[in-house]
Amino acid sequence: MQVPARLARSVAADLRGDHDGRAAALRPLLDVYLWTDSRSSFWPWGWEIVDALIAVGRSEQAAGIADSFHAHAATSGAYMRGCAEAAKARAAQDAGDLAEAERGFDRALTILMDGQNDTTVAKVLFSRGQMLRRANRRRDAVESLVRAREFYEGVGAEAQLRRCDRELRATGMAWRGSPDPDGSPVAPEGVDTIVLTLQEMSVADLVVQGMTNAEVSRRLFIAEKTVQYHLTHIYEKFGIRSRTELAAVHLGDGMPEV
């Protein structure tokens, strides 16, 4: 029970913004629960400690742990392999290899996209979005952060929701359906417009670019039936019936800069 107990302490420290406390909670596991060829943990503490060590400046140690975790998770189940890919991506990001980091986060999301790991998917999406925002790829960052925000809003995770909102504001971009301070999507004052939720905005912007539902599903890391669900609601809001009509109402002309 040492692993879940220490993970719980780590999460509590993370929510307080206490990076040293987060790393201290997990470090003892390195002495008693390292991965081997015959054993890997059910708990995703490998990813957590990599992120925690990077936050306190222990990059070399974090990279070594990410390599070990990734190697020993290769024959594990999908959940652990997804977490290992995320750990490697975080280490690559820290090393400045943003292209490999993005590929790693995308591999993690693809592995985890089975509908059973929503909490982990949201965490990966947030990390990916934060990385892209810092790389000044603001539009791509918004897509990831909006997806993470939708999950956290749905489960009432206030601390993570605030983090998403800070990152979204830091992109310096506005988007249709931008939330007001209480989290509700609102139209700009004095503008008569259709208001979409954050997820509807992401789906609509991709659909009007000519993407199929399957392509939107892969781009946003959501199920294809979820794309259709959002598209149906978008059509209802605009009183339209087709992708052609959706393009005609100018949803695809981009998100204006603030």
What DSSP letter does each residue of 17-40 carry, written as one string? T-HHHHHHHHTTHHHH---BTTB-
pLDDT tier, 10 (very low <50, low <70, confident <90, very high otherwise): very high
Report pLDDT digits (tens) over 207-234.
888 889 998 888 887 888 889 998 998 8
* Residue 111 tokens, joined: 């592995």
Report pLDDT digits (tens) over 140-171.
898 899 889 888 988 989 989 889 988 888 88
pLDDT tier, 128 (very low <50, low <70, confident <90, very high otherwise): very high
Residue 108 predicted with pLDDT over 50: yes
pLDDT tier, 254 (very low <50, low <70, confident <90, very high otherwise): very low
| Mean pLDDT of the region 2-23 | 88
Quote the CA–CA distance of 101 and 91 in Å, as a whole number. Answer: 8
3-state secondary structure at position 173: strand
Phi first, then psi: what are they for 56, rounded to 5°?
A: -105, 15
Residue 46 confidence (pLDDT): 85
Report pLDDT digits (tens) over 58-80.
999 999 999 988 988 888 888 88
Residue 116 predicted with pLDDT over 90: no
Phi first, then psi: what are they for 28, rounded to 5°?
A: -55, -25
Residue 37 confidence (pLDDT): 61
Q: What is the number of other CB atoms lying within 10 angstroms of the CB of residue 149?
A: 27
The Cα angle at residue 219 between residues 216 and 223, in degrees rounded to 5: 60
Q: What is the number of other CB atoms lying within 10 angstroms of the CB of residue 113?
A: 18
- Considering only CA atoms, which of 152, 196, 195, 144 is closest in space to residue 171? 144
3-state secondary structure at position 179: strand
